[in-house]
Amino acid sequence: MIELLTAAVFAYSQPSVPDSKLDWWRDSRFGMFIHWGLYAVPAGTWKDKGTGHAEWIRTTAQIPLEEYDEFVPEFNPVNFDADAWCAMANDAGMGYVVITTKHHDGFCLFDSEYTDFDIMSTPFKRDIMKELAEAAPKHDIHMSWYHSIMDWHHSDYLPRRGWEKDRTADGADMQRYRKYLHAQVSELLTNYGPVGIMWFDGEWESTWRGSYGKELYELCVGLQPEVIVNNRLGARGGMEGLTGMDGYAGGYGGDYMTPEQEIPDAVEQGIDWETCMTMNGRWGYNMVDKNFKSTTDLLQKLSDIVSKSGNFLLNVGPKADGTFPEESIQRLEEIGDWMDVNGEAIHGTVGSPFQELDWGRATQKFHDESTTLYLHVFDWPADGELLVPGLAGTVTSARVLGGSDVLYEMGQGEMTLHLPSVQPNEHISVVAVEVQGKPVVYESPKITISADTFVHTLKVTLSVGSEDLDIRYSTNDNTQFQIYNKPFEIDTTTTIFAQSYDGDQAVSKIVSKAVTKTAPRSADELQANVHGKLSLSVYEGDWDELPNFSLLTPTERTTDSSFSIPEREFVARVYTGFIYAPSTDMYMFALSSDDGSRFSIGDDVVIDNDGLHGAQVVQGAIALAQGWHACKVEWFNKTGGGSLGLNMGVVGEPLIAIPSASLSTAK
């Protein structure tokens, strides 16, 4: 063991690194994530602890250290082929690969001087990082390293896992662990040539500090000034991963943001970000998880991300023998086929100039005197007429990628493309539109209202993305327009029309929204004053959707003052009684559940959130007179964890969990 770094504080200076170091990464737009390690041996299953595990199996199945170490002699990926892995990534149109050099379990896929818990202690005895680093340039891949700050194996890392009661923390020294961490990061940035990205993770535990993350960043760019470092250095701020450059809780924001398993609705201009996502439900290999996203879904996610100037890091969890799961290989091949024809709409592009497109997404590529607009058409128009809202300026041509030129017309605030009747590609078809200079997009105004149905009056706010445009509107017909200066109130059923103007010139389509004034539902007479609870009937059974409870016999009848539910499977609950509306108004309800649920008031189904699904929220609105209203909440859970919640509030105001004082049984 060589002498570890002695300084307890790592005083690196951050070299001035040009922003251009991210240019190759921005152009790539698409990378492969690889989660691979000892956890591929159990492949998600452990004794009587179930089959749903993956790279976290040591923790989720509570495997003692000594037992987990027994995977070392079993890990012998004889079919591992670095060239084949890099070729599959390149063929899929990916420009970089990020692979776990060490995940939270502490096992290293590279030959480290600082531990024997590494690949050289397995029968395989080959340095995975070395072979990938050598193969990558041959396939135009920027090889990149994932490295976990959190380490469940190293005796100095703290905290221990809560369930590791018999694994003492005595003598553990987090500062000494940081020296180990820095030493291994130094190995990874010294022994394997140019590294594209250092992708840190596991930065959220109480023993890590944001300041440690800044030192780690400086270590990395001190060793390789061009290496890109992600933001998982000082607690990224949750799964949305969008910390600012100053990080989260005084951490450090690294070079780009890392939303995980989700695609942000929008990201602030100029922020570099990358969504990482699994193909199925897990990062590491799980032999029973066959819930793979379709190729169309994966490509539409790629398109959506790139239309917001983001990158997509798509994960593969290789098997213990060193091969990719067949389902992953198939998707990579199909993605590659699509990229062969449409890759120019991804690589080297930036985000859409449109606020939103109801038929798909857009990306764009700037040239010296022109721009290529790429229209990613998810929903091909049956009549072949594709409307591009707001596009103005000078269009010089339009063509289907992989197909022929198409005719088009420029109208008032929109472009109409005349497309072939048959969609060229089963996943996404792309139309490339050449525009002189930068695209000119006159967004139609956005009409913002709290709901399209109201009881008293309705506040209307109009907005348009460009500060250079004015808005004119009408609240009776679309002929007598007036200039919009500030929000206004509506007190009757009508239609709002709005249009963008450049001076006196109308430049966008006219948009409209119908709004309806409605009478509130009359309150019900409450038969008794048993406040604070609803009647509750509990049922047992195996359903894929809400059953007809009138045909069933409950196993339990009781009352309950909230919708909190016990962890149970094959169960259903029906709450009945009254809910109190504190004033006469339009109310919004939000019903969250896993699995299905339904919320009714009187005979009206306000929310239908039925079906087999994970926790999801559905909202619904209804006009209620002040007073008590008969209500019913139906819910079921098949397997796994269940959840249920019901929030309410006057439309346009915050929704809150319904206080028990607003609930009452029917008698």
CB of 258 to ligand FHN, least distance (A): 7
Q: Which amino acid is at 306?
A: V
CB 365 within 8 A of CB 350: yes
- The least distance separating ligand FHN from the CB of residue 142, rounded to whole angstroms, comes to 18
| Cβ pair 427, 300 in contact under 8 A | yes
Q: Which C-beta is closer to ligand FHN: that of 56 or that of 359?
A: 56
**Cβ closer to ligand FHN: 259 or 439?**
259
Q: Write the burial class of residue 113 (CB in 10 Å: 0-12 exposed, 13-18 middle, 19+ buried).
A: exposed
Phi-psi region of 578 (alpha: psi -120 to 50; beta: other; left: phi over 0): beta
* Residue (136 or 313) nearer to ligand FHN, CB: 313
CA distances from 264 to 119, 268, 274, 419 (A): 37, 10, 10, 31
The residue among 291 and 527 lying less far from ligand FHN, judged by its C-beta, is 291
Dist CA 329 CA 51 (whole Å): 23
The residues with which 409 forms a beta bridge, in sequence order, are 416
Measured from the CB of residue 35, what is the shortest distance to ligand FHN in angstroms?
A: 6
Cα–Cα distance, 425 to 93 (Å, whole number):
17
Do the beta carbons of residue 283 and residue 35 sit within 8 Å?
Answer: yes
Our CB check for ligand FHN shows the closer of 202 and 520 to be 202
Q: Which is nearer to ligand FHN, 51 or 175 (CB)?
A: 51
- Closest approach of ligand FHN to the CB of residue 270, in Å: 23
Instruction: Answer left, alpha or beta for residue 364, where phi above 0 means left and psi between -120 and 50 means alpha.
Output: beta
How, if at all, do strands 30-34 and 370-377 pair? Answer: unpaired
Least Cβ distance, residue 284 to ligand FHN (angstroms): 7
Q: Which residues contact 17 (CB under 8 A, 6 or more apart)?
A: 221, 225, 226
Shortest Cβ 66–ligand FHN spacing (Å): 22
CB of 277 to ligand FHN, least distance (A): 9
Which two tokens mark 324?
A: 């990719």
Tokens representing residue 635 in the block: 């819910």
Residue with Cβ nearer ligand FHN (615 or 661): 615
CB of 100 to ligand FHN, least distance (A): 7
Q: Cα–Cα distance between 463 and 471 in angstroms, integer?
A: 8
Rounded CA gap, 266 and 244, in Å? 15
Nearer to ligand FHN, 283 or 338 (CB): 283
CB 534 within 8 A of CB 637: no
Cβ of residue 102: shortest distance to ligand FHN, in angstroms?
11
CB 462 within 8 A of CB 498: yes
Shortest Å, Cβ 55 to ligand FHN: 5
Site for ligand FHN, rule CB under 6 A: 35, 55-56, 201, 260, 276, 283
Q: With CA atoms as reference, report the closest residue to 351 among 338, 366, 362, 359.
A: 362
Which residue, 56 or 543, has its beta carbon nearer to ligand FHN? Answer: 56
- Cα radius of gyration rounded to whole Å, the chain: 29
Which of 324, 374 has the CB closer to ligand FHN? 324
Residue 231 or 307 with smaller CB distance to ligand FHN: 231
Cα separation, 242 vs 260, whole angstroms = 10
Tokens of 304: 């959506």
Q: Which is nearer to ligand FHN, 235 or 574 (CB)?
A: 235
Cβ closest to ligand FHN, residue 53 vs residue 361:
53
Q: Tell the smallest beta-carbon distance from residue 45 to ligand FHN (Å).
A: 17
For the bound state, the minimum distance from the C-beta of residue 283 to ligand FHN, rounded and expressed in Å, comes to 5
Question: Do the beta carbons of residue 558 and residue 536 sit within 8 Å?
Answer: yes
Which helix (H) or strand (E) segment holds residue 220: the answer is: helix 210-223
Helix ranges restricted to H, 284-345? 295-306, 326-342
CA distance 166 to 369: 69
DSSP letters for 537-583: EEEE---SS---GGGS--SEEEEESS----S-SSEEEEEEEEEEESS
Q: How is residue 200 written in tokens?
A: 């840190």
Residue type, 330: Q
Q: CB of residue 264 vs ligand FHN: minimum separation in angstroms?
A: 15
Provide, rounded to whole angstroms, the least separation between the CB of residue 38 and ligand FHN: 14
Cα dihedral sign for 385, 390, 396, 401?
Answer: negative
Identify whether the C-beta of residue 534 lies closer than 8 Å to the C-beta of residue 600: no
**C-beta of residue 154 within 8 angstroms of C-beta of residue 106:** yes
Nearer to ligand FHN, 201 or 304 (CB): 201
CB-based contact 540:526 (threshold 8 Å): no
**Nearest CB to ligand FHN, comparing residues 33 and 628:** 33
At position 599, the amino acid (one-letter code) is F
Q: Given the complex with ligand FHN, which of 105 and 443 has the nearer CB atom?
A: 105
Q: Which two tokens stand for residue 476?
A: 């009776």
Residue 313 CB, shortest distance to ligand FHN, in Å, is: 8
Closest distance to ligand FHN from the beta carbon of 628 (Å): 45
d(CA 64, CA 186): 30
